[in-house]
């Protein structure tokens, strides 16, 4: 049996780092994963005038002076979640220009919900040559009701409303644990936010914030990924960190698959059976439903289950990019629209496969662990967007895995 401390959460640290610019002073953020997306967010902060220092897994941001109200296009195109800089920068500087975001190619990923809510709060928005130019000088608190609980839009409106006059209410917000994390971080700086994790969030504007030190929660998706890796290899692992609280829907599915999970104060003990049982149906949903970010990894585990499983991807429309690659490894998967039917096979075969996005890439590594022979996963830079060192982590549990990537491949991959 192995044990592993799970890294800090990507989807928590990114909005928290964006939030650091609201305080004209110092924020100390602990337990930051050293992943490409965090490095990109650090570059964005630096580009607008912050002084940022990494000390191990701690990032120290001095946002005393902001000297640029334009978020550089190259970073925004590289990482979709940089759109949360819009809310934070508008709260601080009032006038901001940002290009349309890029990011993982898992669907169309529009930002209409963000912009509609901002307009409701009296932010003027003009779209000029692919840039969004915003002015929040006349912004006032109001009620916004989301037609869909978008994670990024919820974070953007929370950040935007920190200093606004009156109260801003968000109805039907996202309830992800990372939203609660953002609320807790902002309140630790002196903000007045309530209701994160429920059906309504209330933000009372404050005039000023103060310095803070904050520790980022454990990454529930990385924890789930390592559960899938353990499940497919019939292994046993103690995953250390604050995991059980946020991974209920993921753990339920692994239990259905025959795994045994025990919750301890220090983490979760996970034990897989010799052969996994299939699941009737997994439907991805906003939290507390089964997370779309775990869909590809659990699919890999199901490829070797004893029977047929069904997955319905209801959050993103193009999230089966790993299926062709898994099929090359001998998996039997049929997809139609957002439905995938996975007929379990006895064994996968090693192959040359290609990562096309972050979680789908991780799913190929998981499949490779259980495959006969050698699996080579091309384009590993996608995986490094979210996993600090998946090679180190799985290697420490006994996997024979190594990373080979030249600087050129890395740069070339980022452009694709
Ligand atoms: C965040 C997560 C991502 C996760 C996703 C869903 C971060 C950095 N990223 O992404 O890992 O997969 O939540 O849990 O936290 N939508 C619109 N219009 C909008 C906004 C979203 O139609 O204005 C749609 C999207 O296309 C998608 C769905 O809503 O189909 C969910 O998107 P959203 O919750 O906004 O996800 P992100 O914040 O982009």
Query: Does the beta carbon of 411 sit less than 6 angstroms from any atom of ligand 1?
Result: no
Q: What is the pLDDT of residue 77?
A: 82
Q: Which residues are catalytic?
A: 104
Instruction: Assign 75 a pLDDT band (cuts: 50, 70, 90).
Output: confident
Q: What is the pLDDT of residue 124?
A: 96
- Whole-number Å distance, alpha carbon 111 to ligand 1 midpoint, is 9
CA distance 249 to 166: 37
**Is 220-415 a domain of CATH 3.40.1360.10?**
no
Mutate which of 78, 85, 112, 148 for ligand 1? The one with the most ligand atoms within 8 Å of its CB, which is 148
CA distance 63 to 23: 6
Domain 8-215 and domain 220-415 have a common topology? yes
Q: Which pTM was predicted?
A: 0.95
Query: Does the beta carbon of 114 sit less than 6 angstroms from any atom of ligand 1?
Result: yes
DSSP secondary structure, 95-133, as one string: EEEEEPP---SSS----HHHHHHHHHTT-EEEEETTEEE
- Whole-number Å distance, alpha carbon 31 to ligand 1 midpoint, is 24
Query: Does the beta carbon of 102 sit less than 6 angstroms from any atom of ligand 1?
Result: no
Answer yes or no: is pLDDT of 416 > 60: no
Residue with tokens 């930002």: 111
Q: What is the pLDDT of residue 415?
A: 39
Mean pLDDT of the chain: 93
Give the atom of ligand 1 at the shortest distance from the alpha carbon of 148. 29
Mean pLDDT of 366-382: 95
Mean pLDDT of 42-60: 96
**Is 8-215 a domain of CATH 3.65.10.10?**
yes
**Domain residues of the chain, as ranges?**
8-215, 220-415
Q: What is the pLDDT of residue 202?
A: 98
pLDDT tens readout for residues 275-289 = 999 999 999 999 999
Nearest by Cα to 31 from 140, 168, 185: 185
Answer yes or no: is pLDDT of 11 > 50: yes
Query: Does the beta carbon of 288 sit less than 6 angstroms from any atom of ligand 1?
Result: no
pLDDT tens readout for residues 324-356 = 999 999 999 999 999 999 999 999 999 999 999
Closest Cα to atom 5 of ligand 1 = 151
Q: What is the pLDDT of residue 256?
A: 98
pLDDT tens readout for residues 255-307 = 999 999 999 999 999 999 999 999 999 999 999 999 999 999 999 999 999 99
């Amino acid at each position: 049996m192995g044990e592993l401390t799970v890294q800090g959460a990507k989807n928590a640290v990114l909005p928290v780092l964006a939030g650091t610019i609201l305080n004209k002073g110092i924020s100390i953020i602990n337990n930051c994963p050293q992943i490409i997306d965090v490095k990109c967010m650090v570059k964005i902060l630096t580009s607008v005038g912050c002084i940022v220092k990494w000390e191990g897994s701690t990032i120290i941001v001095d946002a005393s002076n902001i000297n640029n109200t334009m978020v550089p296009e190259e970073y925004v195109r590289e990482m979709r979640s940089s759109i949360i800089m819009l809310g934070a920068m508008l709260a601080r500087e009032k006038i901001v220009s940002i290009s349309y975001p890029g990011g993982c190619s898992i669907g169309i990923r529009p930002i209409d919900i963000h912009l509609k809510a901002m307009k409701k709060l009296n932010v003027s928005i003009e779209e000029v040559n692919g840039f969004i130019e915003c002015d929040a000088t006349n912004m006032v608190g109001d009620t916004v009701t989301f037609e869909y609980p978008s994670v990024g839009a919820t974070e953007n409106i929370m950040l935007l409303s920190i200093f606004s006059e009156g109260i801003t209410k968000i109805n039907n917000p996202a309830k992800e644990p990372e939203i609660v994390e953002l609320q807790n971080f902002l309140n630790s700086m002196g903000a007045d936010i309530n209701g994160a994790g429920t059906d309504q969030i209330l933000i009372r504007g404050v005039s000023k914030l103060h310095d803070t030190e904050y520790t980022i929660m454990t990454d529930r998706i990385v924890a789930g990924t390592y559960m899938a890796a353990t499940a497919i290899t019939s292994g046993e692992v103690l995953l250390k960190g604050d995991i059980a609280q946020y991974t209920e829907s993921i753990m339920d599915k692994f239990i259905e698959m025959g795994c045994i999970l025990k919750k301890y104060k220090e983490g979760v003990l996970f034990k897989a059976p010799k052969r996994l049982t299939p699941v009737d149906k997994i439907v991805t949903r906003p939290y507390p439903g089964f997370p779309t970010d775990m869909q590809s990894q659990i699919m890999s585990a199901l490829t070797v289950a004893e029977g047929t499983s069904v997955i319905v991807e209801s959050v993103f429309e193009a999230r089966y990019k790993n299926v062709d690659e898994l099929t090359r490894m001998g998996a039997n998967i049929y997809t139609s629209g957002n439905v995938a039917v996975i007929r379990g096979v006895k064994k996968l075969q090693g192959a040359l496969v290609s990562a096309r996005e972050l979680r789908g890439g991780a799913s190929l590594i998981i499949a490779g662990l259980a495959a006969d022979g050698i699996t080579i996963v091309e384009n590993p830079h996608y995986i490094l967007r979210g996993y600090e060192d998946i090679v180190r982590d799985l290697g420490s549990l006994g996997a024979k895995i190594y990373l080979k990537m030249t600087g050129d491949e890395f740069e070339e991959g980022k452009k694709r």
